[in-house]
Amino acid sequence: MKWMFVPLLAITSTANAMIIRHDVEDAKYQAAAQSDNSTVTFLGLYKGDEIVLGTGSLIDKQWIVTAAHVANELTVGNKVQFKTDFYSIKEVIKHPLWKERHFPNDIALVQLASPIEDATIAKLNHASTEKGKIATFVGRGDYGNGLVGVAGADKQLRAAHNAVVGVQEQWLQFIFDRDANALPLEGISGPGDSGGPAYLVSTNLVCLIGVSSWQNAESTNWEEGKYGVIEHYSRIAYFRDWIEKTLLQTSGISPEICPDS
């Protein structure tokens, strides 16, 4: 088997957030997440316990971009966390070409029943200049590092950085590097971070370039979250037209677009 398609969602166990460097204090990743104002967490119940079903990015006060395989687990009324506040889902729209367990077109839109007034709305990327850019990932849940992989659960919000190393038609690719090759806050997504963002962040702009989808763990003998895994994010520039048309048809909304970069 050449490729391992590991969806970054785990409904059979406690979900996981950012997997970080083994040689950097975890507190630095938690501190980095405090400035995030655009990311939400989808919550659900499993055997009576509240778990993280996935993650998403606000592109309007009431609309979220996430992964279609996360949307499979969401229903109207599901709880959505933004910072310390909670909202509920009004509607879930998966890409029409998505098929369960097939990862192309792994993108979806989620409408909230009420607006989030104090969020920073992420703009949609349209440029084809992603390669080499440093993206910010954000997620909530378990902790872990590149040596041990996924280690446990604490439901803390973390932010990590990673560089785009590959751009394909539907995908952005990231590698979990270590030591001298790694960024100061290098990290990678884990289960529960599915649907979460790859942002380009500047002083007055949050630009969404990708949505966390699946991980190729061939290089680690299929152990998720360890150094060397290759992360695949659904590419916003590829899906921008579908997002725009869907929002216009359903709500008469036109999402904001990132300026050329």
The mean predicted confidence, pLDDT, of the chain is 90
Is 110 a residue whose pLDDT tops 70?
A: yes
CA distance 176 to 185: 11
Residue 198 contacts residue 8 (beta carbons within 8 Å): no
Q: Please, which residues have CB within 8 angstroms of residue 74's CB and are 6 or more apart in sequence?
A: 42, 44, 53, 54, 89, 92, 110
CA distance 107 to 103: 9
Which residue's entry shows tokens 């501190």? 31
Ranked by mean pLDDT, which of 4-13, 120-129, 213-222 comes out on top? 120-129
Which residue's entry shows tokens 């590149």? 146
SS3 110: strand
Is 13 a residue whose pLDDT tops 80?
A: no
For residues 101-115, one letter each, b for 16 or more C-beta atoms within 10 angstroms of the residue's C-beta and e for the rest, the string is eebebbbbbbbbeee
> Residue 189, class by beta-carbon neighbours within 10 Å (0-12 exposed, 13-18 middle, 19+ buried)?
buried
Ranked by mean pLDDT, which of 10-14, 30-34, 192-196 comes out on top? 30-34
Is 101 a residue whose pLDDT tops 80?
A: no
User: pLDDT band for position 9 (50/70/90)?
Assistant: very low
User: pLDDT band for position 213 (50/70/90)?
Assistant: very high
Among the residue ranges 78-82, 140-144, 218-222, 228-232, the one predicted with the least confidence is 140-144
**Of 215, 166, 230, 254, which is closest to residue 67 (Cα–Cα)?**
215
For the chain, domains (ranges, CATH) are 18-34+124-237 (2.40.10.10), 39-119+239-251 (2.40.10.10)
**Of 91, 80, 16, 11, which is closest to residue 45 (Cα–Cα)?**
11
- pLDDT at res. 151: 85
Region 179-203 average pLDDT: 93
Among the residue ranges 34-48, 73-87, 138-152, 198-212, the one predicted with the least confidence is 138-152
Q: What pTM was estimated for this model as a whole?
A: 0.92
- pLDDT at res. 4: 40
